[in-house]
Amino acid sequence: MTSKKGMLSNLKSDLPAGIVVFLVALPLCLGIALASGAPFFSGMISGIVGGLVVAVISNSQLSVSGPAAGLAAIVLLSIQQLGAFNIFLLAVVLAGVIQVILGFLKAGTISNYFPSNVIKGMLTAIGILIILKQIPHAFGYDADIEGNLDFIQTNGENTFTAFLHPLQHINLGSTLIAVIALIILLVWEKPFIKNKIGFIPGGLVAVFVSVALNELFLSTNSSLALTDKSHLVTVPIANSFSDFLGFFTFPDFTQITNMQVITIAATIAIVASIETLLSIEAVDNIDPHKRITSTNLELKAQGIGNIVSGLIGGLPITSVIVRSSANVNAKAETKISAMFHGFLLLICVALIPTLLNKIPLAALAAILLTVGYKLTKISIYKDMFKNGKHQWIPFIITVIVIVFTDLLKGVGVGLAVSIFFILKGNLKNAYFFHKEDYHKGDKINIQLAEEVSFLNKASIKQTLAHLPENSLVTIDASKTTYIDYDVLELIRNFKETQSKEKNITALLTGFKEVYNIENDSHVKTLHDNKQ
């Protein structure tokens, strides 16, 4: 876990990243509220709680929580069934209680059994969807709500028909703003900018320039001006403090024995927990430091967040991969960025909503397009194909099913295909390893068994994560005939990143050439010196 001193030393990275995440989260919170049939402000509340409550409790350094598009259909149907938003809020509170209980029951360990090819497929599919969904906004065709990643959209169209519409409905003002914003974002990646003013987020600059451009168009009565509010961020505006307090709604506790409320609460808790665990596993996967999040603590944090959100009128909360990916892309180091984004949502919505309503959706589309590109680069596909059919077939199937249905269906199908390959090829002898009793600075020998399958990932992951600092660790694969790709990836991450951050001398020996891991030829000498 990152110390307070460590978090404060990273403010130079975290505060700019928090601004970028805030800009991305703002329209998503509003769009998801609209898709859910809930008040606009309920989406903002859940975004604020995600930053100021969940991020504080969670030990994930890069995950960002808020309202999730994957829950929008469930929320919409639930509000209709219950007949009142305040009754639905009670279901959100109870869902949070269930999640806290799941955390104490250690249900978060299920995330250890999500294969990396499915997680990478999920990230890649979301990258494709972000690009497909944001291109219409970049051209000024804002018919679909922000944050919707489902194939069948709320307006009756699908991802591909909506993607083709901008060709007939191009708004030149939006298009120009999106192009200029993209140019700014790309230039901001160049070394000569990074070295001089890189501490200023490119996303913030792109948004400021976009707002200034549209204000210029408006002041000159240009045909390029974005006058229609559908092209701009739309935050509810309070005329007074009492009006602002009126945005909050409270749950109806008289319905606590209503079985329909309890059923909806259980549904929200299960779906939100699965989405959170998938997102956390994905974020840990793209974390440059390969830090490991406590998933049981995460369930407790999400549960407390949902309790608070439900109590004051917010939507259900999950860890959200789009916002989290934007956070990683913005070079965040610690959870200060997620907390800062929540603080900005609160301050800006309370104090300067009029200014926020000047931001063109086309500028935010440009930011998300860069996020989407980084999630679905060609190099990712090449790497997966190099790893053999047991890896790339579940990966590709996960991508295709998510793009044409939704996240949970795609992950479910991808997981089933991955399990089929695991059962077909890897269920042989059980994995084991030998370890000596050790303390800080001791010598540790880990002997891998003859067959090491994906089913052994969880125990190996925990073992490597809890090795003491300043120790000498040897991982011996000389007796193995098969090691699953996911386990090899864990070992590579440990050798290249985790061991260095804990000052562990990690030595690898006995790994076959097909594993694509370099052995340390001087293992014996270093062991002798350590003794």
Per-residue pLDDT reduced to its tens digit, 210-229: 999 999 999 999 999 999 98
**65 part of a folded domain:** yes
Residue 79, pLDDT > 80, answer yes
Mean pLDDT, the chain, whole residue set:
88
> Can you tell me the distance from the alpha carbon of 9 to that of 3, in angstroms, rounded to the nearest whole number?
10
CB 266 within 8 A of CB 274: no
Place of tokens 């610690």: 334
**287 part of a folded domain:** yes
- The kind and range of the H/E element at 191 are helix 191-197
**339 part of a folded domain:** yes
> Mean pLDDT: which of 24-38, 157-171, 392-406 is highest?
392-406
pLDDT, position 156: 73
* Confidence band of 401 (pLDDT split at 50, 70, 90): very high
pLDDT, position 46: 97
Beta-bridge partner residues of 360? 232
Residue 530, pLDDT > 60, answer no
Instruction: Please report, for the domain that includes residue 449, its CATH number.
Output: 3.30.750.24
Residue where one domain finishes, among candidates 321, 336, 367 = 367
Query: Which residue type is seen at 349?
Result: V
| Among the listed residues 231, 360, 340, the one whose alpha carbon sits nearest the alpha carbon of residue 10 | 340
> Can you tell me the distance from the alpha carbon of 226 to that of 171, in angstroms, rounded to the nearest whole number?
9
The per-residue pLDDT for range 298-341, each reduced to its tens digit, is: 999 999 999 999 999 999 999 999 999 999 999 999 999 999 99
Residue 149, pLDDT > 80, answer no
> Can you tell me the distance from the alpha carbon of 45 to that of 48, in angstroms, rounded to the nearest whole number?
5
Residue 35, pLDDT > 70, answer yes
Count up the domains in the chain and report the number: 2
The per-residue pLDDT for range 504-521, each reduced to its tens digit, is: 999 999 998 888 888 887
For 139, residues 6+ apart whose C-beta sits below 8 A from its C-beta are 166, 169, 170, 171, 174, 175, 178, 362
**The residue count for the chain:** 531
List the domain range (segments joined by +) for residue 481: 443-530
The reply to whether 306 and 169 lie within a common domain is: yes
Residue where one domain finishes, among candidates 304, 333, 367 = 367
Q: Which residue has the higher pLDDT, 238 or 127?
A: 127
pLDDT, position 432: 47
The per-residue pLDDT for range 431-451, each reduced to its tens digit, is: 444 454 555 667 788 888 877
CB 99 within 8 A of CB 273: yes
For 167, residues 6+ apart whose C-beta sits below 8 A from its C-beta are none
CB 483 within 8 A of CB 512: no
* Confidence band of 485 (pLDDT split at 50, 70, 90): confident
Residue 423, pLDDT > 90, answer no
**160 part of a folded domain:** yes
pLDDT, position 486: 87
**116 part of a folded domain:** yes
**269 part of a folded domain:** yes
Written as six digits, the tokens of 440 are: 């800080």
Written as six digits, the tokens of 335 are: 């959870």
**252 part of a folded domain:** yes
> Can you tell me the distance from the alpha carbon of 494 to that of 233, in angstroms, rounded to the nearest whole number?
43
Written as six digits, the tokens of 199 are: 């501490």
Phi, psi of 222, deg, nearest 5: -70, 150
Q: What is the mean pLDDT of residues 149-173?
A: 78
> Can you tell me the distance from the alpha carbon of 34 to that of 40, in angstroms, rounded to the nearest whole number?
6
> Can you tell me the distance from the alpha carbon of 38 to that of 32, in angstroms, rounded to the nearest whole number?
9
The reply to whether 460 and 343 lie within a common domain is: no
Give the distance from CA 283 to its chain's centroid. 6
Q: What is the 3-state secondary structure (H, E, C) of 409-467?
A: HHHHHHHHHHHHHHHHHCCCCCCCCCCCCCCCCCEEEEECCCEECHHHHHHHHHHHHCC
Residue 427, pLDDT > 50, answer no
pLDDT, position 173: 95
Written as six digits, the tokens of 35 are: 């898709």
pLDDT, position 429: 43
In Å, how far are 136, 142, 246, 444 from 498, measured between CA atoms?
41, 44, 49, 16
* Confidence band of 8 (pLDDT split at 50, 70, 90): low
DSSP class of residue 478 equals T
Residue 531, pLDDT > 60, answer no
Q: What is the mean pLDDT of residues 463-490?
A: 88
pLDDT, position 310: 97
Residue where one domain finishes, among candidates 320, 339, 367 = 367
pLDDT, position 4: 54
pLDDT, position 63: 97
Q: pTM higher than 0.75, yes or no?
A: yes
> Can you tell me the distance from the alpha carbon of 310 to that of 304, in angstroms, rounded to the nearest whole number?
10
